[in-house]
Amino acid sequence: MITLKDIAKLANVSTATVSYVLNGRGNISDKTRAKVLEIVEAHNYKPNNIAKSLKLNKTSTIGVIVEDITVFSAPEIINGINEYAEENGFTIVLTNLRIHKRIGNHFKDIDRYKHIITAAVDDLLSKQVDGIIYIGVHTRDVKGLIDIAKPVVYVYCYSTLESAYSVNYDDELAALEATNYLIERGHKRIALISGLIDSMPSHGRFNGYYKAIMANQLPFDPSLIKTGDWEYSSGYSMAKELMALPTPPTAILAMNDLMAGGAIDACREINVNIPEQLSVIGFDNREFSGYYSPKITTVDIPLQAMGSRAIAMLIEILDGSPPEESNPKLECRMIERETVAAAADKQ
Protein backbone atom coordinates (compact mmCIF):
# COMPACT_ATOMS: atom_id res chain seq x y z
CA MET A 1 0.00 0.00 0.00
CA ILE A 2 1.30 3.39 -0.97
CA THR A 3 1.34 5.91 1.84
CA LEU A 4 1.41 9.63 2.22
CA LYS A 5 5.07 9.36 3.02
CA ASP A 6 5.70 7.66 -0.31
CA ILE A 7 3.87 10.42 -2.12
CA ALA A 8 5.95 13.00 -0.31
CA LYS A 9 9.14 11.29 -1.33
CA LEU A 10 8.07 10.99 -4.95
CA ALA A 11 7.05 14.63 -5.07
CA ASN A 12 10.17 15.79 -3.27
CA VAL A 13 8.20 17.58 -0.59
CA SER A 14 7.53 16.95 3.07
CA THR A 15 4.66 14.85 4.34
CA ALA A 16 3.19 18.02 5.78
CA THR A 17 2.91 19.49 2.34
CA VAL A 18 1.15 16.44 0.98
CA SER A 19 -1.21 16.45 3.91
CA TYR A 20 -1.99 20.11 3.39
CA VAL A 21 -2.63 19.59 -0.30
CA LEU A 22 -4.91 16.68 0.41
CA ASN A 23 -6.89 18.58 2.98
CA GLY A 24 -6.90 21.90 1.14
CA ARG A 25 -5.23 23.64 4.02
CA GLY A 26 -1.93 25.44 4.59
CA ASN A 27 -0.04 27.66 2.18
CA ILE A 28 0.82 25.70 -0.89
CA SER A 29 1.71 27.11 -4.30
CA ASP A 30 -0.33 26.02 -7.27
CA LYS A 31 2.71 24.46 -8.80
CA THR A 32 3.46 22.25 -5.83
CA ARG A 33 -0.18 21.40 -5.38
CA ALA A 34 -0.45 20.28 -8.98
CA LYS A 35 2.66 18.17 -8.73
CA VAL A 36 1.45 16.42 -5.59
CA LEU A 37 -1.99 15.84 -6.98
CA GLU A 38 -0.56 14.40 -10.12
CA ILE A 39 1.48 11.87 -8.21
CA VAL A 40 -1.45 11.03 -5.97
CA GLU A 41 -3.50 10.39 -9.07
CA ALA A 42 -0.83 8.41 -10.84
CA HIS A 43 -0.36 6.06 -7.93
CA ASN A 44 -4.01 5.90 -7.02
CA TYR A 45 -3.16 6.82 -3.50
CA LYS A 46 -5.97 6.56 -0.96
CA PRO A 47 -5.44 7.93 2.53
CA ASN A 48 -5.53 5.54 5.44
CA ASN A 49 -8.44 6.60 7.54
CA ILE A 50 -7.36 4.48 10.44
CA ALA A 51 -4.23 6.53 10.87
CA LYS A 52 -6.20 9.70 10.44
CA SER A 53 -8.71 8.62 13.06
CA LEU A 54 -5.98 7.79 15.51
CA LYS A 55 -4.48 11.21 15.15
CA LEU A 56 -7.71 13.15 15.17
CA ASN A 57 -9.44 11.07 17.79
CA LYS A 58 -12.52 11.04 15.63
CA THR A 59 -13.60 8.32 13.24
CA SER A 60 -16.62 9.81 11.50
CA THR A 61 -18.18 6.51 12.22
CA ILE A 62 -21.37 5.83 14.09
CA GLY A 63 -22.32 2.56 15.71
CA VAL A 64 -25.80 1.27 14.96
CA ILE A 65 -27.10 -1.39 17.29
CA VAL A 66 -30.25 -3.05 16.08
CA GLU A 67 -32.05 -5.47 18.34
CA ASP A 68 -33.20 -7.59 15.44
CA ILE A 69 -32.53 -6.75 11.83
CA THR A 70 -35.09 -9.23 10.55
CA VAL A 71 -37.94 -7.34 12.16
CA PHE A 72 -39.98 -5.41 9.61
CA SER A 73 -39.11 -2.00 10.96
CA ALA A 74 -35.34 -2.38 11.00
CA PRO A 75 -34.35 -2.11 7.32
CA GLU A 76 -36.36 1.06 6.79
CA ILE A 77 -34.90 2.71 9.84
CA ILE A 78 -31.39 1.71 8.82
CA ASN A 79 -32.07 3.00 5.35
CA GLY A 80 -32.98 6.36 6.81
CA ILE A 81 -29.89 6.44 8.95
CA ASN A 82 -27.72 5.41 6.08
CA GLU A 83 -28.90 8.06 3.67
CA TYR A 84 -28.34 10.86 6.10
CA ALA A 85 -25.04 9.38 7.22
CA GLU A 86 -23.71 9.25 3.73
CA GLU A 87 -24.71 12.80 2.97
CA ASN A 88 -22.77 13.90 6.03
CA GLY A 89 -19.68 11.82 5.59
CA PHE A 90 -20.38 9.28 8.27
CA THR A 91 -19.95 5.56 8.04
CA ILE A 92 -22.07 2.99 9.81
CA VAL A 93 -20.80 0.13 11.90
CA LEU A 94 -23.66 -2.28 12.30
CA THR A 95 -24.28 -4.58 15.22
CA ASN A 96 -27.25 -6.90 15.13
CA LEU A 97 -28.21 -8.24 18.53
CA ARG A 98 -30.43 -11.03 17.15
CA ILE A 99 -32.30 -10.54 20.33
CA HIS A 100 -35.38 -12.59 19.57
CA LYS A 101 -33.29 -15.60 18.86
CA ARG A 102 -31.35 -15.09 22.06
CA ILE A 103 -33.93 -14.14 24.62
CA GLY A 104 -37.25 -14.92 22.98
CA ASN A 105 -39.82 -12.46 24.21
CA HIS A 106 -38.35 -11.82 27.63
CA PHE A 107 -37.95 -8.12 27.06
CA LYS A 108 -39.08 -7.28 30.56
CA ASP A 109 -36.20 -9.17 32.06
CA ILE A 110 -33.52 -6.67 31.23
CA ASP A 111 -30.89 -8.41 33.34
CA ARG A 112 -31.21 -11.31 30.99
CA TYR A 113 -29.81 -9.43 28.07
CA LYS A 114 -27.90 -6.60 29.65
CA HIS A 115 -24.60 -8.36 29.02
CA ILE A 116 -25.40 -8.73 25.33
CA ILE A 117 -25.86 -5.02 24.97
CA THR A 118 -22.84 -4.19 27.08
CA ALA A 119 -20.68 -6.40 24.93
CA ALA A 120 -21.99 -4.74 21.77
CA VAL A 121 -21.43 -1.27 23.16
CA ASP A 122 -17.93 -2.08 24.39
CA ASP A 123 -17.03 -3.46 21.02
CA LEU A 124 -18.29 -0.37 19.27
CA LEU A 125 -16.49 1.86 21.72
CA SER A 126 -13.23 0.04 21.21
CA LYS A 127 -13.71 0.72 17.51
CA GLN A 128 -13.94 4.37 18.52
CA VAL A 129 -17.32 5.17 17.02
CA ASP A 130 -18.26 8.80 17.52
CA GLY A 131 -21.74 7.94 18.76
CA ILE A 132 -24.34 5.19 18.92
CA ILE A 133 -27.86 4.73 17.62
CA TYR A 134 -29.84 2.00 19.31
CA ILE A 135 -32.80 0.61 17.38
CA GLY A 136 -35.38 -1.26 19.44
CA VAL A 137 -37.94 -3.71 18.14
CA HIS A 138 -40.84 -1.89 19.73
CA THR A 139 -41.49 1.16 21.84
CA ARG A 140 -40.40 0.47 25.38
CA ASP A 141 -38.15 1.66 28.13
CA VAL A 142 -34.68 0.16 27.89
CA LYS A 143 -33.76 1.85 31.19
CA GLY A 144 -30.28 3.21 31.58
CA LEU A 145 -28.87 0.25 29.74
CA ILE A 146 -26.29 2.18 27.84
CA ASP A 147 -24.43 4.60 30.01
CA ILE A 148 -21.39 5.90 28.23
CA ALA A 149 -19.59 9.14 27.64
CA LYS A 150 -20.40 9.27 23.95
CA PRO A 151 -23.80 10.33 22.67
CA VAL A 152 -26.51 7.74 22.18
CA VAL A 153 -29.86 8.13 20.52
CA TYR A 154 -32.59 5.55 20.82
CA VAL A 155 -34.99 4.78 18.02
CA TYR A 156 -38.25 2.89 18.44
CA CYS A 157 -37.57 2.75 22.16
CA TYR A 158 -36.31 5.13 24.81
CA SER A 159 -34.30 5.27 27.99
CA THR A 160 -35.37 6.67 31.32
CA LEU A 161 -31.80 7.72 31.89
CA GLU A 162 -32.09 11.46 32.27
CA SER A 163 -31.06 13.46 29.25
CA ALA A 164 -31.31 10.45 26.96
CA TYR A 165 -32.23 11.18 23.37
CA SER A 166 -34.80 9.17 21.47
CA VAL A 167 -36.99 9.29 18.43
CA ASN A 168 -40.32 7.55 18.23
CA TYR A 169 -43.66 8.05 16.54
CA ASP A 170 -46.90 9.30 18.00
CA ASP A 171 -49.00 6.28 18.85
CA GLU A 172 -51.77 8.17 20.46
CA LEU A 173 -52.21 10.66 17.67
CA ALA A 174 -52.16 7.89 15.08
CA ALA A 175 -54.87 5.90 16.82
CA LEU A 176 -56.89 9.04 17.33
CA GLU A 177 -56.73 9.84 13.65
CA ALA A 178 -57.56 6.30 12.63
CA THR A 179 -60.57 6.29 14.93
CA ASN A 180 -61.69 9.66 13.64
CA TYR A 181 -61.34 8.37 10.12
CA LEU A 182 -63.87 5.70 11.00
CA ILE A 183 -66.14 8.10 12.83
CA GLU A 184 -66.14 10.49 9.90
CA ARG A 185 -67.46 7.64 7.80
CA GLY A 186 -70.42 7.22 10.07
CA HIS A 187 -69.18 4.44 12.34
CA LYS A 188 -70.47 4.57 15.88
CA ARG A 189 -69.74 1.11 17.21
CA ILE A 190 -66.03 0.82 16.75
CA ALA A 191 -64.26 -2.14 18.27
CA LEU A 192 -60.63 -2.16 19.31
CA ILE A 193 -58.43 -5.21 19.14
CA SER A 194 -55.54 -4.33 21.37
CA GLY A 195 -52.05 -5.71 21.59
CA LEU A 196 -50.67 -7.01 24.87
CA ILE A 197 -51.92 -4.74 27.55
CA ASP A 198 -48.61 -4.08 29.25
CA SER A 199 -46.95 -2.56 26.23
CA MET A 200 -46.42 1.11 25.49
CA PRO A 201 -47.91 1.04 22.01
CA SER A 202 -51.06 -0.58 23.39
CA HIS A 203 -51.44 2.21 25.90
CA GLY A 204 -50.81 4.97 23.44
CA ARG A 205 -53.13 3.54 20.85
CA PHE A 206 -55.83 2.87 23.38
CA ASN A 207 -55.64 6.46 24.58
CA GLY A 208 -55.98 7.76 21.06
CA TYR A 209 -58.98 5.56 20.45
CA TYR A 210 -60.57 6.59 23.73
CA LYS A 211 -60.04 10.27 23.14
CA ALA A 212 -61.57 10.08 19.69
CA ILE A 213 -64.63 8.26 21.05
CA MET A 214 -65.04 10.79 23.84
CA ALA A 215 -64.42 13.83 21.67
CA ASN A 216 -67.21 12.70 19.42
CA GLN A 217 -69.62 11.96 22.25
CA LEU A 218 -69.84 8.34 21.26
CA PRO A 219 -70.65 5.81 23.98
CA PHE A 220 -67.63 3.93 25.29
CA ASP A 221 -68.60 0.27 25.34
CA PRO A 222 -66.08 -1.98 27.15
CA SER A 223 -67.45 -5.05 25.42
CA LEU A 224 -66.01 -3.63 22.22
CA ILE A 225 -62.48 -3.70 23.61
CA LYS A 226 -60.61 -6.96 23.13
CA THR A 227 -57.08 -7.76 24.15
CA GLY A 228 -55.01 -9.73 21.71
CA ASP A 229 -51.32 -10.60 21.72
CA TRP A 230 -50.22 -8.99 18.44
CA GLU A 231 -50.45 -12.32 16.63
CA TYR A 232 -52.62 -13.22 13.67
CA SER A 233 -54.51 -15.85 15.63
CA SER A 234 -55.64 -13.43 18.31
CA GLY A 235 -57.07 -11.08 15.70
CA TYR A 236 -58.91 -14.03 14.28
CA SER A 237 -60.50 -15.16 17.52
CA MET A 238 -61.23 -11.68 18.85
CA ALA A 239 -63.05 -10.81 15.65
CA LYS A 240 -65.20 -13.90 16.01
CA GLU A 241 -66.10 -12.91 19.55
CA LEU A 242 -66.87 -9.38 18.46
CA MET A 243 -69.12 -10.43 15.62
CA ALA A 244 -70.99 -12.77 17.93
CA LEU A 245 -72.01 -9.86 20.12
CA PRO A 246 -75.74 -9.02 20.28
CA THR A 247 -75.00 -5.84 18.38
CA PRO A 248 -71.70 -6.34 16.68
CA PRO A 249 -69.44 -3.42 15.76
CA THR A 250 -69.46 -1.86 12.30
CA ALA A 251 -65.75 -1.27 12.41
CA ILE A 252 -62.66 -2.72 14.01
CA LEU A 253 -59.44 -0.91 14.75
CA ALA A 254 -56.74 -3.52 15.16
CA MET A 255 -53.49 -2.47 16.73
CA ASN A 256 -51.44 -4.16 14.05
CA ASP A 257 -51.80 -5.59 10.57
CA LEU A 258 -51.33 -9.14 11.70
CA MET A 259 -54.38 -8.99 13.94
CA ALA A 260 -56.26 -7.05 11.27
CA GLY A 261 -55.47 -9.86 8.86
CA GLY A 262 -56.71 -12.45 11.33
CA ALA A 263 -59.90 -10.48 11.81
CA ILE A 264 -60.47 -10.24 8.08
CA ASP A 265 -60.03 -13.96 7.60
CA ALA A 266 -62.37 -14.70 10.50
CA CYS A 267 -65.00 -12.53 8.84
CA ARG A 268 -64.64 -14.32 5.56
CA GLU A 269 -65.42 -17.58 7.34
CA ILE A 270 -68.58 -16.25 8.92
CA ASN A 271 -69.63 -14.49 5.75
CA VAL A 272 -69.20 -10.97 6.94
CA ASN A 273 -68.20 -8.90 3.94
CA ILE A 274 -65.39 -6.45 4.26
CA PRO A 275 -65.73 -3.53 3.92
CA GLU A 276 -69.48 -3.56 3.19
CA GLN A 277 -70.53 -5.04 6.52
CA LEU A 278 -67.45 -4.32 8.56
CA SER A 279 -64.61 -1.88 8.21
CA VAL A 280 -61.14 -2.80 9.44
CA ILE A 281 -58.06 -0.70 10.02
CA GLY A 282 -54.66 -2.13 10.86
CA PHE A 283 -51.42 -0.64 12.07
CA ASP A 284 -47.82 -0.79 10.80
CA ASN A 285 -48.32 -0.89 7.04
CA ARG A 286 -46.56 -4.22 6.84
CA GLU A 287 -45.68 -5.31 3.36
CA PHE A 288 -48.35 -8.00 3.26
CA SER A 289 -51.09 -5.53 4.10
CA GLY A 290 -50.84 -4.20 0.58
CA TYR A 291 -51.23 -7.67 -0.90
CA TYR A 292 -54.04 -8.86 1.32
CA SER A 293 -57.49 -9.61 0.05
CA PRO A 294 -58.87 -7.13 0.50
CA LYS A 295 -55.90 -4.79 0.81
CA ILE A 296 -55.73 -3.54 4.36
CA THR A 297 -56.24 0.12 5.23
CA THR A 298 -53.58 0.82 7.80
CA VAL A 299 -51.38 3.30 9.60
CA ASP A 300 -47.89 3.81 8.26
CA ILE A 301 -45.10 4.38 10.75
CA PRO A 302 -42.51 6.85 9.45
CA LEU A 303 -39.61 4.47 9.90
CA GLN A 304 -37.21 5.98 7.45
CA ALA A 305 -37.82 9.46 8.79
CA MET A 306 -37.20 8.15 12.31
CA GLY A 307 -33.84 6.84 11.19
CA SER A 308 -32.85 10.10 9.52
CA ARG A 309 -33.99 12.11 12.45
CA ALA A 310 -32.00 9.98 14.85
CA ILE A 311 -28.73 10.45 13.07
CA ALA A 312 -29.48 14.11 12.46
CA MET A 313 -29.83 14.51 16.22
CA LEU A 314 -26.68 12.53 16.85
CA ILE A 315 -24.67 14.68 14.49
CA GLU A 316 -26.02 17.82 16.09
CA ILE A 317 -24.89 16.57 19.47
CA LEU A 318 -21.49 15.71 18.05
CA ASP A 319 -21.27 19.23 16.65
CA GLY A 320 -21.92 20.61 20.07
CA SER A 321 -25.38 21.98 19.38
CA PRO A 322 -27.81 19.54 20.99
CA PRO A 323 -31.24 19.39 19.36
CA GLU A 324 -34.01 21.42 20.94
CA GLU A 325 -36.45 18.57 21.02
CA SER A 326 -34.70 15.62 22.61
CA ASN A 327 -37.50 13.06 22.38
CA PRO A 328 -39.47 13.80 19.25
CA LYS A 329 -42.47 11.72 18.25
CA LEU A 330 -43.01 11.69 14.53
CA GLU A 331 -46.42 11.67 12.92
CA CYS A 332 -47.89 8.60 11.29
CA ARG A 333 -49.87 8.58 8.08
CA MET A 334 -53.01 6.67 7.17
CA ILE A 335 -52.77 4.44 4.12
CA GLU A 336 -56.22 4.23 2.60
CA ARG A 337 -56.90 0.91 0.92
CA GLU A 338 -59.84 -1.44 0.66
CA THR A 339 -61.05 -2.38 4.12
CA VAL A 340 -62.95 0.72 5.11
CA ALA A 341 -66.36 1.85 3.86
CA ALA A 342 -69.02 4.18 5.18
CA ALA A 343 -71.14 2.63 7.90
CA ALA A 344 -74.09 0.87 6.33
CA ASP A 345 -76.62 1.14 9.14
CA LYS A 346 -76.66 4.75 10.15
CA GLN A 347 -78.51 4.76 13.39
Return residues touching a second copy (CB under 8 A). Answer: 46-51, 53-54, 59, 61, 64, 69-70, 72, 74-76, 78-79, 82-83, 91-96, 98, 122-123, 125-128, 232, 258, 261, 265, 268, 286-288, 291-293
Residues 2-41 within binding reach of DNA (CB under 7 A)? 3-5, 12-20, 22-23, 25-29, 31-33
Q: Are 280 and 274 in contact (CB under 8 A)?
A: yes
In the three-class reduction of DSSP (H, G, I as helix; E, B as strand; rest coil), residue 191 is classed as strand
61 binds, among a second copy, DNA, none (CB under 5 to 8 A by kind): a second copy
Shortest gap between Cβ of 43 and DNA (angstroms)? Answer: 11
Q: Which is nearer to a second copy, 118 or 160 (CB)?
A: 118
Residues 6+ apart with CB under 8 A from 110: 142, 143, 145
123 binds, among DNA, a second copy, none (CB under 5 to 8 A by kind): a second copy
Query: Which residues on adjacent β-strands are paired with residue 259?
Result: none
Q: Which stretch binds DNA (CB under 7 A): 48-56, 145-153, 165-173, 276-284?
A: 48-56
Shortest gap between Cβ of 58 and DNA (angstroms)? Answer: 9
237 binds, among DNA, a second copy, none (CB under 5 to 8 A by kind): none
Q: Which is nearer to a second copy, 75 or 186 (CB)?
A: 75
Taking CB under 7 A as the criterion, the residue among 43, 48, 104, 106 binding DNA is: 48
- Residues in contact with DNA, counted by CB under 7 A, come to a total of 32
Shortest gap between Cβ of 111 and a second copy (angstroms)? Answer: 20
Q: Are 28 and 21 in contact (CB under 8 A)?
A: yes
Q: Indicate the residue type of 206.
A: F
Torsion of CA 228, 203, 170, 232, to 10 degrees: 0
Shortest gap between Cβ of 37 and DNA (angstroms)? Answer: 12
b/e per residue 127-152 (b: at least 16 CB within 10 A): ebbbbbbbbbbebbbbeebbeeebbb
Q: Which is nearer to DNA, 129 or 153 (CB)?
A: 129
326 binds, among a second copy, DNA, none (CB under 5 to 8 A by kind): none
Q: Indicate the residue type of 169.
A: Y
Q: Which is nearer to a second copy, 286 or 337 (CB)?
A: 286
Residues 53-92 within binding reach of DNA (CB under 7 A)? 54-57
Q: Are 216 and 183 in contact (CB under 8 A)?
A: yes
Question: What does the DSSP assignment read for 251-265?
Answer: EEEESSHHHHHHHHH
Q: What are phi and psi of 64, to 5 degrees?
A: -115, 120
Instruction: From residue 274, give the alpha-carbon distance in Å to each of 63, 299, 337, 338.
Output: 45, 18, 12, 8
Question: Which residues in this chain contact DNA in the complex, by CB under 7 A?
Answer: 1, 3-5, 12-20, 22-23, 25-29, 31-33, 45, 47-48, 51-52, 54-57
